[in-house]
Structure 1
């Protein structure tokens, strides 16, 4: 049965939590009403949700922070620091979410927009997608986790070059670097990202949660430690309703009927 719940920036439909992180009204810059509403929704995720989809509205995924608002703040440091705290609460909620995070990266993903692309599990872009750190362009240092995620995606040396030179990364380059998972035609980015989110939401949710946990542990684990974590996780999977259904369906040569809540 199709179920839909809609708020201004958050929509829940068919097991997908969709969060709009930028709007045309804000010039496609990061919209903190959406960020804060999204944080609350992420922290309230229950078993009915199988995937998170981040989208932008107005022609770009996210053009970064609202620099005009920065310039008008009487206490710029305090103002920007407060925004960073809100953004970081959102990034932490994304990381803690028990479901995969998908983004559709149409147009520009600059500054915090690029940081959120780097925080996703799967990022779909197009030939017209452009990613740019943007921080040094206004004399700022990164936020949104970019200084942590980007080196882990592209390597420390390349991350330094991209951030320090404020490089513009094309969609094709972003795929080669591993920032984007793949590209499709520009007009299909949104639909393809939604398709991926739907497929994940309809899949083996407990397995996806376990995979995210293993991948999160991997950077700080030795190979031996990671092997132990994998052994524990696959044993739990084999005993879970999801694992039992998957094995039974394979043996019986039928499609599995995953438990979705």
Structure 2
């Protein structure tokens, strides 16, 4: 039987988490949320092997959000929704804390929690027919998965309000203009373009790009002085690594050697 839980695979330094409930629009039910959290925790335990994380999905939709059928059927709905959101939030919090770049490849609609997954990524590549929609108002719910925190930072407060308060879908071109996605390309070239971007990230020094991604995520969450302190501590720590030492030496000019007859 084919699994419908998120799949984690690691190859050549690339960890891919793939949503795999295409018949349900990759909607997130509790088993999916738990599997997603487990996948992220698995990545956190293997950081020495991983240069970049890729979020992908099977089927026509990227992610339809939380599984509203499961919510509607829950005997204790508030308890179920709290648990579902809590597990998802643990996964996203762990993901954004990783010193590893995260790339999302959006082949179709991202709604509700799916927008939260998009916002959790550092680089977002979208197919030209992809759409983005809050979805929360249509089922009488408020945002989760960090949408209310990260969306204003990505697109601005006014656009975030329009998006969340009206529930109006945003097409890929508009998402690019707003800054919700990094790049839009034809659907038939999306996989190839994603491969190029991931390869470019993976080719760079792992710790350097990983810490850059982590610092970028923290930049809007704390005072400037705290960010400067973290930058100073991080660059000093990286300067002690063998990789940085070799690269710094390759850029430094070789010391001049005195020749016979030179003055001391």
Alpha-carbon distance in structure 2 between the residues aligned to 1:53 and 1:12: 10
Cα offset, 1:224, TM superposition: 4.7
Alpha-carbon distance in structure 2 between the residues aligned to 1:80 and 1:198: 38
For residue 207 of structure 1, what is the aligned residue in structure 2?
A: 208
TM-score (norm 1): 0.85
For residue 3 of structure 1, what is the aligned residue in structure 2?
A: none
Alpha-carbon distance in structure 1 between the residues aligned to 2:23 and 2:112: 18
CA deviation map 1:193-235 (0-9, x unaligned):
2432233223211111221232233224444554444344334
Cα offset, 1:113, TM superposition: 0.5
For residue 100 of structure 1, what is the aligned residue in structure 2?
A: 101
Question: Residue 49 of structure 2 aligns to a residue in which SS?
Answer: coil
Contact 1:21 1:32 in 2 (8 A): no
Alpha-carbon distance in structure 1 between the residues aligned to 2:34 and 2:199: 25
Which of 19, 23, 26 lines up with 2:24 in the alignment?
Answer: 26
For residue 132 of structure 1, what is the aligned residue in structure 2?
A: 133
Question: Residue 197 of structure 2 aligns to a residue in which SS?
Answer: helix
> Residue 11 in 1 paired to residue 9 in 2?
yes
Alpha-carbon distance in structure 1 between the residues aligned to 2:49 and 2:155: 34
Cα offset, 1:110, TM superposition: 0.6
Alpha-carbon distance in structure 2 between the residues aligned to 1:21 and 1:27: 9
Contact 1:98 1:212 in 2 (8 A): yes
Range with bigger deviation, 35-44 or 140-149: 35-44
For residue 148 of structure 1, what is the aligned residue in structure 2?
A: 149
For residue 192 of structure 2, what is the aligned residue in structure 1?
A: 191
Question: Residue 140 of structure 1 aligns to a residue in which SS?
Answer: coil
TM-score (norm 2): 0.84
Map residues 225-244 of structure 1 onto 2, 5 A cutoff: 225-244=226-245
Question: Residue 219 of structure 1 aligns to a residue in which SS?
Answer: coil
Alpha-carbon distance in structure 1 between the residues aligned to 2:65 and 2:129: 17
Larger CA Rg, structure 1 vs 2:
2
- Residue 58 to residue 100, structure 1, CA distance change in 2 (3 Å): same
For residue 66 of structure 2, what is the aligned residue in structure 1?
A: 65
The runs of 5 or more residues in structure 2 that have no matched partner are 254-264
The runs of 5 or more residues in structure 1 that have no matched partner are 1-6, 253-261
Kindly tell me the number of residue pairs found equivalent between the two proteins: 246
CA RMSD of aligned residues (A): 2.2
Map residues 138-177 of structure 1 onto 2, 5 A cutoff: 138-177=139-178
CA deviation map 1:19-67 (0-9, x unaligned):
1134214333223354233233233233011111111111221111221
